Amino acid sequence: MTILKNHDTKGVAFVDDAKLTARHVNVFYGDKQAIFDVSLDVGANEVIALIGPSGCGKSTFLRCLNRMNDTIDRCQVQGDILLDGEPIYDGSMDVVPLRARVGMVFQKPNPFPKSIYDNVAYGPRLHGLATTRVELDAIVEYSLQRAGLWNEVKDRLDAPGTGLSGGQQQRLCIARTIAVDPEVILMDEPCSALDPIATAKIEELIDELRENYTIAIVTHSMQQAARVSQRTAYFHMGQLVEVNPTEQMFTTPEHTLTEAYITGRFG
């Protein structure tokens, strides 16, 4: 297939109040290119869904946004990515605080083999966000509250995080992300290992979190993208084909590739 130039991205890739700005991003694994000239804004307090067939580069692009790709050998990121206008790939940007500001929730819940309390307290301790035990307790409670898990675990904060159900573990990971007071939360298929009820809880949570955070979510479920996001971005073979308001994307997509994908004509 022909490589689209970025200006061929259909729809609305740019917004006025961008929290994250990506311009002309190219990503390579060794000499294999995975992302082709992608430019996209993520607006403040918006939920943007990234969709597309397996291997189209959703996770790769998401990982660029908090430099998670730095941890992958041979992965090279080109182009500009700005957080609040600051280039994150600049030499002066320290990745540890960056990853606190731009937190990430993964596909498989990955609680540390520690107590529920310590899972949530880990980040605040690392970043020195609390000076007293009382402060730390408050952060832990607040984060578990925000993640909708507090009532289920408040009586067993010392129990191991790994003993929770899958859905609870994922909410624990969200609490852990929230605990370091991030501005952006990246989620890579956060519900794909969860049952429908746990999924519904996470989706509801995403909607509430939007008040305080900017969220980019990779999802395989078209219904999930439709339910939780305000804009949807469609990736195809490493290119950003279309970005549009979610409602429009699922009723009248502009690009025939988007149409073909969301109507199940390939995937």
Partner 1 sequence: MDMNFNQHISAQFNADLETIRNKMMTMGGLVERQIAAAIDAICDGDSAVVEEVIRREDEVDRLEVAIDNACTQVLVLRQPAASDLRMVIAVSRVVRDLERMGDEACKIAIHAREYTQSSHSQICQQAIRSMGAEVVKMLTGALDAFARADVSDAVDVVRNDKLVDQQYASALRELITYMMEDPRSISQAINILWILRAIERIGDHARNISEQVIYLVSGTDVRHSSLSEIEERTQQ
Ligand X SMILES: Nc1ncnc2c1ncn2[C@@H]1O[C@H](COP(=O)(O)OP(=O)(O)O)[C@@H](O)[C@H]1O
Q: Which residues bind partner 1 (CB under 8 A)?
A: 222-223, 226, 248, 250-253, 256, 258-260, 262-267
> What is the distance of C-alpha 196 from the center of its chain?
20
From the list ligand X, Mg ion, partner 1, none, partner contacted by residue 223 (C-beta under 5 to 8 A by kind): partner 1
With contacts defined by CB under 5 A, name the span among 16-24, 56-64, 137-145, 258-266 that binds Mg ion.
56-64
Q: How far is the CB of 59 from ligand X (least distance, A)?
A: 3
Judged by CB under 6 A, does residue 163 bind ligand X?
Answer: no
From the list ligand X, Mg ion, partner 1, none, partner contacted by residue 222 (C-beta under 5 to 8 A by kind): partner 1
Measured CA to CA, the distance from residue 267 to residue 246 in angstroms comes to 19
What the block records as the tokens of 213 is 């955070």
Alpha helices by DSSP H, 65-165: 95-101, 116-126, 133-146, 150-153
Q: How far is the CB of 108 from ligand X (least distance, A)?
A: 14
From the list partner 1, ligand X, Mg ion, none, partner contacted by residue 55 (C-beta under 5 to 8 A by kind): ligand X
Name the residue nearer to partner 1 (CB basis): 212 or 252: 252
Q: Do 245 and 43 meet the contact criterion of CB atoms below 8 Å apart?
A: no
Name the residue nearer to partner 1 (CB basis): 215 or 222: 222
Residue entry with tokens 């609305």:
12
* Amino acid present at 62: L
Using CB under 6 A, pick the residue from 72, 93, 126, 138 that binds ligand X.
72
With contacts defined by CB under 6 A, name the span among 53-61, 87-95, 164-172, 249-257 that binds ligand X.
53-61
With contacts defined by CB under 5 A, name the span among 59-67, 76-84, 171-179, 241-249 that binds Mg ion.
59-67
Q: How far is the CB of 188 from ligand X (least distance, A)?
A: 7
What the block records as the tokens of 182 is 């991030």
> CA torsion sign, 239 to 240 to 242 to 246?
positive
Measured CA to CA, the distance from residue 200 to residue 213 in angstroms comes to 19
Judged by CB under 6 A, does residue 71 bind ligand X?
Answer: no
**Rounded to a whole number, what is the distance in angstroms from the first to the last CA of the chain?**
16
* Amino acid present at 59: S
Number of residues that bind ligand X (CB under 6 A): 11
Judged by CB under 5 A, does residue 59 bind Mg ion?
Answer: yes
N residues, the chain? 267
* Amino acid present at 242: E
* Amino acid present at 112: F
Residues at the contact surface with Mg ion, assessed by CB under 5 A: 59
